[in-house]
Amino acid sequence: MQKIGLFIPCYIDAFFPKVGIATLELLEKCAQNVEYPMAQTCCGQPLANVGCHSDAAEAEALFVRHFARYDAIVVPSGSCAHHVRERFDAIPQTEEVCHVRSHIYELIEFLHDILEVQAFPWAEFPHKVGIHNGCSTLRSLRTASMSELGEPFFSKPQALLSRVKGISFVTPHRPDECCGFGGTFSITEEAVSIRMGLDKVQDYYKAGAEYIVSADSSCLMHQQGCAEHAGVPIRFIHIAEILNGAQA
């Protein structure tokens, strides 16, 4: 059995601890040997996103020291997985660094592609959901088809969720449109970000969604704030919570 290092991003640790707990429990239910390095910190993505790559070096080096010993590193965040895999360039590319970069997986990737989980017998979610694929998860990790490419449809999140009893899916008018979070974008372009987020949640609501579900808590956090501010009666949940058996 491979040894898995669980990486919980800083914003999930601070604001959405239930997502981290659900991820751990879900992996254990899938018979995985999971460890959580207690001294882990941010992977350095916020610094890299604003061009401060040299300032991210210590965070990247610390991440490698904590996770290089694992066969796989699993994280419930597409943007963090993408950063480590594709943009971990602020430190020398040692054998350990290369190992970490090539062995990190976003949670959906790991469940769908590596473990090939075919059933979640403990899970039931009798609600209509709309799936939001964050930009990094969709366009960098390719966990779903991109509508702008006109390619044949596929969706790893939907494939996994379809194995949950009682769940049903709705499709918004513009399924792959960015929700406007974008990390620092939501600060530097606040008005545009809010408008994009509100458009997104209204699109899901008009399609009949009771919940917006995503593999990225950052996108959910932004959309939830927009929905609550505008009074849009829709709820939000991370995919790990549903697959782990969360009840509404």
Higher-confidence residue of 191 and 183: namely 191
Pick from 114, 142, 171: which residue ends a domain? 114
For residue 203, what are the domain limits? 128-243
> SS3 for 170?
strand
Residues 86, 138 within the same domain: no
- pTM for the model: 0.94
Residues 75, 169 within the same domain: no
- What mean pLDDT do residues 26-46 have? 93
pLDDT at 94 over 80: yes
Could you tell me the pLDDT band of residue 1, with boundaries at 50, 70 and 90?
low
Percent over 90 (pLDDT), the chain: 81
In a domain, 210, yes or no: yes
Residues 238, 145 within the same domain: yes
Distance CA 151, CA 122 (A): 34
Q: Look at residue 180 in the predicted model and tell me its pLDDT.
A: 85
Distance CA 132, CA 116 (A): 22
Report the DSSP beta bridge partners of residue 132.
214
* Residue 2 burial (C-beta neighbours within 10 Å; 0-12, 13-18, 19+): exposed
Q: Looking at the 3D structure of the chain, how many domains does it have? A: 2
Q: Look at residue 202 in the predicted model and tell me its pLDDT.
A: 97
In a domain, 119, yes or no: no
Q: What CATH number has the domain bearing residue 238?
A: 3.40.50.10700
Residues 90, 134 within the same domain: no
Q: Look at residue 225 in the predicted model and tell me its pLDDT.
A: 94
Q: What phi-psi label fits residue 26: left (phi over 0), alpha (psi between -120 and 50 degrees) or beta?
A: alpha
Pick from 67, 85, 114: which residue ends a domain? 114
Of 44-53, 66-75, 80-89, 191-200, highest mean pLDDT: 66-75
pLDDT at 184 over 90: no
In a domain, 106, yes or no: yes
Strands across the sheet containing 33-35 = 33-35, 3-6, 72-75, 104-106
Residues 49, 152 within the same domain: no
Contact present, 212 and 184 (Cβ < 8 Å)? no
Contact present, 216 and 135 (Cβ < 8 Å)? no
